[in-house]
Amino acid sequence: MAEQKTYKSLKEFYPFYLSEHQDSTCRILHFIGTGLVLLSFLSFLVTFNFWFLGIIPFLGYGFAWVGHFFFEQNKPATFQYPAYSLASDFIMFWDLLRGKESFHPKK
């Protein structure tokens, strides 16, 4: 069994995170899920309806895990690196939104 690498910073982890997201459909599903998470959180801030907070894990993880298990065919990095993965998901969302990352990465 290969030894798990230990990342010392988010900056060091993010390239690994991107390497685990090379399938276009997986990236699109992550983008949709993260966008819905943000909309749900904003809806909570406007309405104070806790239902919007309650659905956040299903929106975020649901879309991401479908992308990983069915399209990327790997295990989500969240299982090994929960904090770095969460932060990286928002970074990738922002990078995709502003065109710094592509929805169709070169493999």
Residues 15-49 pLDDT 10s: 999 999 999 999 999 999 999 999 999 999 999 99
pLDDT tens, position by position, 45-91: 999 999 999 999 999 999 999 999 999 999 999 999 999 999 999 99
For the chain, how many residues are written?
107
- As a whole-number percent, the residues of the chain with pLDDT over 70 amount to 95
* Rounded Cα gap, residues 100 and 28, in angstroms: 15
pLDDT value at position 98? 98
* Rounded Cα gap, residues 23 and 19, in angstroms: 10
* Rounded Cα gap, residues 92 and 53, in angstroms: 22
Listed in sequence order, the residues at least 6 apart from 10 whose beta carbon sits closer than 8 Å to its beta carbon are: 84, 87, 88, 91
DSSP, collapsed to helix, strand or coil, labels residue 75 as coil
pLDDT value at position 1? 47
